[in-house]
Structure 1
Amino acid sequence: MDLDTVRTFVAAADTGQFQEAAAELAVTQQAVSKRIAVLERSLGVRLFTRTPRGAELTIDGQAFLPHARELLRVAERAAASVRTARRPLRVDIIASRGAASGLMRAFHRAHPDTDLDVLMLFDIETALAAIRSGEIDASFRAVAAPGRPLPEDIESVRVLDEPLQLLTGPAHALAGARSVPLAQLAGHRIWMPGIVPGTEWAAYYDDLVAQFGLTIEATGPNFGSDALLDTVADTPALATFMGGHTRLVWPAGHGLRRIPVTDPTPVYPHSLLWHRDNPHPALATLRAHLATTEAGHDAAGTWTPDWVIPH
């Protein structure tokens, strides 16, 4: 059923005059008459009776009117559900405790009137598909790992280089160090059960291991950050890498140490990804906000893999 004919019917019913309905809809009176005739043929009934005073609803017209109003309300709600200016900005932050979460919290504090939905999608292929379908507006990812070039319709900008730190328990051999050179970590067991083959962070750590001769173990089930902290605190032989912007809280008795890594400092490159044709006004606001907070990339004394997009 054509919504223009339904809208014309409701306008004519409300005004009682085809001429007034035409003025309200900014069309000719002849167009109103034609639309009503089309609707009547479609329904197989007469909706109006012409009188000296104008147009009066027939019994069938009276029966159809409330349903016609509901059709227009449903159509408006359907359109509003996908109008970008009327729905929240949807952003994938991967994990709730990571650097991207901190960036979005800062954005929300700076722009509290911007409606925001935060999602956590695991892998980059899922995130890219969601961006391209319009399910989400943006995602934070490290790009572009070997064999995973960005599609041509996806834009990206590097927004944060997050330094890695070494996390140890109090009995670890490096627990008392104020900082540790990256080369000195060769021979130490670094346990990271959250590394999943095929992800962009797996590609990052594969390059780190290959270039600096490190030993990173991803064995065992990943029971989450709390279990990781418990194990590192109780096992002097194990340490782990932790992003400098990762927010974690652990019991005071754990005695964990966060130690800066230097010479060079490995940094994890977070980029914002979005579809080049995305019209959501809050996306432009987010990009502008991130542009004011980002620091310089590829700074002296830092390391990232060769595949990382520089800007």
Structure 2
Amino acid sequence: MDLNAVRTFVVAVDAGQFQKAAADLSLTQQAVSKRVAALEAELGVRLFTRTARGAELTIDGQAFLPHARTLLRAAERAAASVRPGSRALRVDVVGRRVATGGLVRDFHRAYPDIELDVVTLFGGDRAIDAVESGTIDATFRAVLMPGRRLPDDIEAVPVLDEPLQLVTGPAHALAGEQSVTPAQLAGCRIWMPGNDPGTEWAAYYDELAAAFGFTVEATGPNFGVEALLDTIGGSSTLGTFLSERTPLVWPAGYDLRRIPMRDPTPVYPHSLLWRNDNSHPALATLRRYLISAYPGRPAAGVWTPEWAQPAGPAPPEAG
């Protein structure tokens, strides 16, 4: 159905005359008559009768009017849902309890008037495809994983280096250490059941393990963080990794140890990815906020895979 014709019909009803409707729509009276006639032909009924006082609705016109108004409201809502600035900024954070979820919460506290739609997509390939297709506005990911080249229309900028901690139960051989080096983990078993092959985090931890000689085990189903910590707390041989920024509460009886890692500190490198033609104003605000808060990666003292090194300085921000 031609929405311009429907809009002309509604304006003509409200105006009471085709002549006044033409003025309100900046059209000629002939154009208004043609639009209404085309709508009547499509519906197969007369919507108006002409009288000395102007145009009056027929019974069919009266029946159609509320539906015509609903159509126009629906069209406006549909346009608003994709109009930059009038819809929520849709951001993928991998997980709501991980550090990138915290970044988005900090951004929301700084800009409470910006509406956000926070989602969690599984895997970098799916997230990048969603950015490229416009399903989401931005994602936080570790780039570039081996064999993955960003599409030409996707940009990325580093926004967070997330230091890792070793987590053990009280009976583990390293439980009493104030800090550990990655080299001390040689021969250790690190249990991470969520390390699904093909994901960027699996690629990261596999390379970390190869660099320092420990084993990452991803056996068994992933029942979540609580089940993971339950197992780690009762084991003398298994450890796992968590971010120092990951907020967790566990029962006191677990007596888990979060041990900082030093010389070098493994950091998980998060970048913000977005499509370079995305004009949502809140996206530009998010980029400026994250770039200004990122201190930059030190030249020494941290470890990341070569494929995760920043390619260069952040792109200049307009405004």
Query: Which letter maps to 2:73?
Result: R
Gaps of 5+ in 2: 313-319
Question: Where do residues 8-19 of structure 1 align in structure 2 (5 Å cutoff)?
Answer: 8-19=8-19
Tell me, in whole angstroms, the C-alpha distance in 1 between the residues paired with 2:206 and 2:177: 26
What's the secondary structure of 2:156's corresponding residue? Answer: strand
Aligned residue for 1:180, secondary structure, equals coil
Which stretch of structure 1 is more off in the superposition, 299-308 or 210-219? 210-219
Structure 2 counterpart SS, 1:239: strand
1:190 is matched with: 190
Displacement over 3 Å in runs of 4+: none
Query: CA separation in 2, counterparts of 1:71 and 1:25?
Result: 18
Aligned pairs, number: 311
What's the offset of the Cα at 1:25? Answer: 1.1
Shift of 1:50: 2.8
Task: Give yes or no for contact 1:298–1:304 (8 Å, CA) kept in 2.
Answer: no
Q: Which moved more, 1:55-64 or 1:183-192?
A: 55-64
Cα contact 1:180–1:262 (8 A) shared by 2: yes
Shift of 1:176: 1.8
Structure 1 residue 98 displacement after superposition: 0.7
Are residue 114 (structure 1) and residue 114 (structure 2) matched?
A: yes
- Taking the TM superposition and a 5 Å limit, the aligned residue runs for 1:142-221 are 142-221=142-221
1:17-166 superposed matches below 5 A:
17-166=17-166
Letter in 2 for 1:27: L
Shifted more, 185-194 versus 78-87: the winner is: 78-87
Q: 1:233-253: CA deviations, max 9, x gaps?
A: 111212112112122111122
Task: Report the CA distance between 1:125 and its aligned residue.
Answer: 2.0
Q: Structure 2 vs 1, CA of residues 202 and 33 (structure 1 numbering), >3 Å: closer, same or farther?
A: same
Using the size of structure 1 for normalisation, the TM-score is: 0.94
Deviations 1:85-139 (A, max 9, x none): 2222111111122111111111111111211121111112221232223222111
Structure 1 contact 159–271 (Cα < 8 Å) conserved: yes
In structure 1, list runs of 5 or more residues that go unmatched. none
1:191–1:238 CA contact under 8 A, matched in 2: yes
Q: 1:219 to 1:44 in 2, by over 3 A?
A: closer
Q: What is the Cα deviation at residue 270 of structure 1?
A: 0.5
Which residue of the partner structure matches residue 276 of structure 1? 276
In the TM superposition, residue 298 of structure 1 has moved relative to its aligned partner by: 4.6
Cα deviation, residue 284, structure 1: 1.3
* Post-superposition offset of 1:79: 2.1
Counting only pairs closer than 5 Å after superposition, residues 224-243 of structure 1 correspond to structure 2 as: 224-243=224-243
